[in-house]
Amino acid sequence: MNVRYLIILFPLLPLIGISLSLLVKYLTRKDISTLMIISNAVLQLLTGAYLFLYFRNYEGLYVVVLSEWKHAIEFSFDQYRIFFLLAFLIPSFFTLFHYRKLTDFNIRTLFLFYMAGCSGLIVTGDIFNFYIFYEVMIMAAYVLISVNRQYYASIKYMIFGAASSAIFLAGIILLYASGSYFSYSFLMNLGEYNPTNIHFVFLLFSVAFFIKAAFFPVSGWVATCHSATNGLISAFLSSFTIFSGIFGLFYFVILPAKSLGFDNILLFIQILSLLTMVIPALILFFEPDFKRCIAGSTVFTIGFIGLLLSSGAWYLGLFYMAVHAFYKSYLFLLYDDLVIEKLKIYGNIKTIVLILIAVGFTVGFIPSIPYFIKYNFLIGLNYLKLINYVTLALMLGSFLKFSYKTGKIKVKSLSYIFFPVILAVFYLMIPFPFITSGYYLILDLMILFLAAFGARALFEKFDFLCCLDTRYIYINMNYELLYIVILIILQIMLLRLNY
C-alpha cells in the first residue's frame, strides 16, 4: 500500500470511528463506540507498525501535500517521528485490554476525538495544523481528566493549556510576519532563509512548549492533572500528550535554532532541563501520594530528555521518550490493581514485581534502558554525573519510602503477559552500545542501599516538608501562572544578551 495514503489515513481512522458510532447511535439507538475504539486501536496499530518499518531507516522528510497551492495543508513523516509514533502506539495497545475504563458513550466518543488529535499531531506537516490537532487532543483531554469528577484538575489543565496555546499562536503570527512559511521542511532548514525577528519567534515557541512539556518552574500542574483520571487516560497523558510539548520544542525550536546557530537558546534549554531534573525529584521525595509520585516522575524524565535533545543527542532523547511511554503506561495501569494505605502498598506478587521493574526504569537504575541511555550520554561529563547521582538517590527514595507488600489480590488485566514481550523488543531496539563499568555499578548499588534503608526515615523526620510543592512552591494556581511570566522575562533577558 502507498505510504502517502497511510499517512493521511492515520488521523482519519478515529474520525471515521466517531462518525460511525454517532450515526448508528442516532439511527438505531445502538452503542457501537466500544467496537469502534477496539477496531480503531487495531487499525492504528497496524498502520503505525507499517509506518514504523517504512521510516525506520528513511533519510530526510517525506512530505504529502494536499494541493498545489503554496499554503496547502501538508502531512509529513521522518525518522525522528517513529519515536513519537511509538509513544502513541504503546498506550493505544493497552486500550485493547483496558477499554472498560471508558465507562459511557460520551466518554468513549471523546476518547476517539482525543486519539484523532494525537494521531494528527504525529503526521502533520505544517505548524498551524500542529496547533489545530493539538487543540483537538487537548480539548478532549480536558474533559477526560474529569471522568473521576476531579474538576479542579480539569480547569487547571485548561488554564495552562490555553495560556500556552495563546503564546504558541502569537509565535505563529510572528513567524508569518517574519516572512516564513508554516511547513516543517521550511522550518527545519531555516538557516538557509534567516527570516527577520526569528529570535522572538523562538522566544514565544520555547515558552509555549516549556508550559506544554511541563519544564520547571511551570511543572506543578502535572502531578495534579495526570493523577486525577483513570489509569488508561493517565497513561496516554503521561506517555504522549505531555511529550507533544517535547515534539514541538524539538521541531520548532531545537532543530531551527541549531540550523541558525542560536546556541544561547539551546544553553537556556539545557539549564532549564537540569533544573527540571533536580527540583521535581526533590519535590517527589516529599510526596506522600503514590499516584502523584508516578505522575510527577514524568517531569524528571522530561528534564533529562530536554537535556539530551538540546545537547544534540537526538536519538538517545527520542528513544528515551519511547521507552518512557512503555513503563509509565504500565505504572498507571498497574496502579489500579493496588490497594494503598498511606505509605503501604499491597498487591498481587506479579503486580508488585512489575511495579518495581517499572520504578527501576523510572529512576534509571541498572540494568534498565534509561540507565544505559544515561551512561552513554554522561561519558566525560563529570558535573552531570554528580547531578545524575543526586537525582537517582532522590528518585529511588521517593519510590522506596513506600513499603511494598504482596498478598492475594485479584489481578484484572491481561496486559501483564505483554510486559516481558515489549521489554524484550525495546532491548533489541537499543541504538547504542550496551556497556557499563563495575565502578558505576557499585555506586548505583550503594545508592540503592541508602535509599532502601534511609528514605522512609528521612521522609518521616522532615515531615514538615511533606507536600513540598503545593505547600511551598505552587501554593495556588496564581503562583504557577506567575512562573510563566518569569520564564518569559528570563528569555527576554537572554535575547538581550544575545543581541
Partner 1 sequence: MILLIMSVAIYGLIVSDNLIKKIMCLNIIESLVILTFLTTGYQERAVAPIITDIVTNYVDPIPQALMLTAIVIGVCFNSLAIAITVKVYYKYHTIKVSELHER
Pairing of strands 61-65, 74-78: antiparallel
Rounded Cα gap, residues 41 and 112, in angstroms: 10
What residues from 220 to 259 belong to the interface with partner 1 (CB under 8 A)?
224
Contact 109, 11 (CB under 8 A): no
From the CB of 169, what's the least distance to partner 1, in Å?
Answer: 5
Rounded Cα gap, residues 196 and 180, in angstroms: 9
Closer of 98 and 212 to partner 1 (Cβ): 212
* 166 binds partner 1, rule: CB under 8 A: yes
Cα Dmax for the chain: 68
Q: What is the total count of residues that contact partner 1 (CB under 8 A)?
A: 36
Q: What mask, x for binding partner 1 by CB under 8 A, covers residues 389 to 428? A: ----------------------------------------
From the CB of 226, what's the least distance to partner 1, in Å?
Answer: 13
Q: What mask, x for binding partner 1 by CB under 8 A, covers residues 175 to 204? A: -xx---------------------------
Query: In 3D, which of 402, 416, 292 has the Cα closest to residue 353?
Result: 416
From the CB of 15, what's the least distance to partner 1, in Å?
Answer: 16
Helices (H) and strands (E) counted in the chain, each on its own, are 22, 5
Q: Exposed, middle or buried: residue 192 (CB in 10 Å: 0-12, 13-18, 19+)? A: exposed
Q: Choose which of 30, 103, 152, 194 interacts with partner 1 (CB under 8 A).
A: 152
Using the contact rule CB under 8 A, the part of the chain among 89-97, 157-165, 185-193, 431-439 near partner 1 is 157-165
Give Cβ neighbours of residue 473 (< 8 Å, ≥ 6 apart).
Answer: 217, 220, 283, 479
Q: For the beta carbon of residue 286, count every other beta carbon within 10 angstroms.
A: 22
Contact 141, 114 (CB under 8 A): yes
From the CB of 392, what's the least distance to partner 1, in Å?
Answer: 28
Closer of 172 and 308 to partner 1 (Cβ): 172
* 210 binds partner 1, rule: CB under 8 A: no
Contact 278, 312 (CB under 8 A): no
Closer of 158 and 447 to partner 1 (Cβ): 158
Query: In 3D, which of 263, 253, 189 has the Cα closest to residue 215?
Result: 253
What residues from 431 to 490 belong to the interface with partner 1 (CB under 8 A)?
470, 476-478, 481-482, 485
* 151 binds partner 1, rule: CB under 8 A: yes
Closer of 78 and 126 to partner 1 (Cβ): 126
Q: Helix (H, G, I), strand (E, B), or coil: what is residue 87?
A: helix
Query: In 3D, which of 185, 179, 184, 224 has the Cα closest to residue 197?
Result: 179
Q: What mask, x for binding partner 1 by CB under 8 A, covers residues 279 to 298? A: ----------x---------
Using the contact rule CB under 8 A, the part of the chain among 18-26, 173-181, 362-370, 425-433 near partner 1 is 173-181
* 158 binds partner 1, rule: CB under 8 A: yes
From the CB of 454, what's the least distance to partner 1, in Å?
Answer: 27
End-to-end Cα separation, the chain, in angstroms:
51
Phi, psi of 367 (to 5 degrees): -105, 40
Q: Choose which of 15, 63, 96, 132 interacts with partner 1 (CB under 8 A).
A: 132
- The letter for the amino acid at 178 is S
Closer of 289 and 336 to partner 1 (Cβ): 289
Q: Helix (H, G, I), strand (E, B), or coil: what is residue 161?
A: helix
Q: What mask, x for binding partner 1 by CB under 8 A, covers residues 69 to 88? A: --x-----------------
From the CB of 144, what's the least distance to partner 1, in Å?
Answer: 12
- The letter for the amino acid at 315 is Y
* 23 binds partner 1, rule: CB under 8 A: no
Q: Choose which of 128, 346, 427, 440 interacts with partner 1 (CB under 8 A).
A: 128
Q: For the beta carbon of residue 440, count every other beta carbon within 10 angstroms.
A: 17
Closer of 90 and 198 to partner 1 (Cβ): 198
Rounded Cα gap, residues 120 and 130, in angstroms: 8
C-alpha cell at 197: 525577528
Contacts with partner 1 by CB under 8 A lie at 71, 128, 131-132, 135, 139, 142-143, 146, 149, 151-155, 158-159, 162-163, 165-166, 169-170, 172-173, 176-177, 224, 289, 470, 476-478, 481-482, 485
